[in-house]
Amino acid sequence: MQLWEATGSPFIPLSEFSDPGIAKKYGVKPDAETLDILNTLARQKEVVVVMKIYWGDAREKICEAINNIPLSCIVMGSRGLGKIKRVLLGSVSDYVVNNAPCPVTVVKGTDREA
């Protein structure tokens, strides 16, 4: 983890990242259901999915990743915080929308996920 703290991890294929030992090596605990969905979609759509882990302030690290990888666009989720919580806690998606050097699409979660 400390080796990759400044630059983020190397790209990790989804098949490797799904191995609990690999995830533990990077100090993360990915959601099993999310990994299952990603693996299923990757097989169905015949795409290669890779992960890259960053440590630190999510707002800054996402914008940093956009520049370093580089990305031509980004799609990200929103937890749907209310206006007061968003003011107090800040919003990662708001920050990225206003600071990213590429187009950003924010997808709201369903009521079930809120």
- If one counts the domains in the chain, the total is 2
Q: How far apart are the first and last CA of the chain?
A: 31
Q: Are 29 and 48 found together in one domain? A: yes
Q: Are 32 and 75 found together in one domain? A: no
Q: Are 50 and 80 found together in one domain? A: no
The model's pLDDT over 70-111, given as tens digits with 9 standing for 90+, comes to 889 999 887 766 666 655 545 888 899 999 999 999 887 666
Q: Are 11 and 41 found together in one domain? A: yes
The three-state DSSP-derived secondary structure of 11-71 is CEEHHHHCCHHHHHHCCCCCCHHHHHHHHHHHHHHCCCCEECCCCCCHHHHHHHHHHHCCC
Q: Are 41 and 82 found together in one domain? A: no
The model's pLDDT over 8-57, given as tens digits with 9 standing for 90+, comes to 888 999 989 999 898 888 888 888 898 999 999 999 999 999 989 998 89
> Coil, helix or strand for 4?
helix
Residue 46 structural domain: 1-55
The pair of three-digit structure tokens given for residue 83, joined into one six-digit string? 């206006």
CATH number at residue 101: 3.40.50.620
Contact between residue 49 and residue 18 where contact means Cβ atoms under 8 Å apart: no
Backbone conformation region of residue 100, classed left if phi is above 0, alpha if psi is from -120 to 50, else beta? beta
pTM: 0.72
Q: Tell me which of 13, 32, 55 is where a domain ends.
A: 55
Q: Are 51 and 65 found together in one domain? A: no
